[in-house]
Amino acid sequence: MSKEILIQFLGFESKASTREYSFLVRESSTEPREFKIAIAHQAFSEHRARFQDGPDICTLKLRRELTTSDNHPAESHFDITDSELDDYYRNHAAPIRSSFNRRPLDE
């Protein structure tokens, strides 16, 4: 992916079975292009995705697609797979805090 590229999150729209995130990709040598990336509602209802993580999950997917196609993917619409959700949470999980480091409340 070129260094002169800018990815702008435009928002999302709730569809019948997905939440569709819209992005505008700006590059100095071409006209801005719009991309849409969908996450199934089921992923949210089954707690495999959190609403607040949706834009980040989709941005990472878009960056991968841009990187593998020299910034010009043949498609402009992508779906997030279960595997991509698993990868996201495996790489972005909050560290588990040990109860040994906590102080008693009455101290």
Give pLDDT tens digits along the chain (107 positions).
446 889 999 999 999 999 999 999 998 888 999 999 999 999 999 999 999 999 999 999 999 999 999 888 999 999 999 999 999 998 887 665 555 555 555 55
Strand order in the sheet with 18-27: 6-14, 18-27, 30-40, 77-79
* Whole-number pLDDT of residue 2: 47
Which of 94, 24, 17 minimizes the C-alpha distance to 53?
A: 94
Supply the DSSP symbol for 76: S
67 CB neighbour count, 10 Å cutoff: 13
* Whole-number pLDDT of residue 95: 61
In degrees, rounded to 5, the angle at the alpha carbon of residue 22 between the alpha carbons of residues 21 and 27 is: 140
* Whole-number pLDDT of residue 29: 81
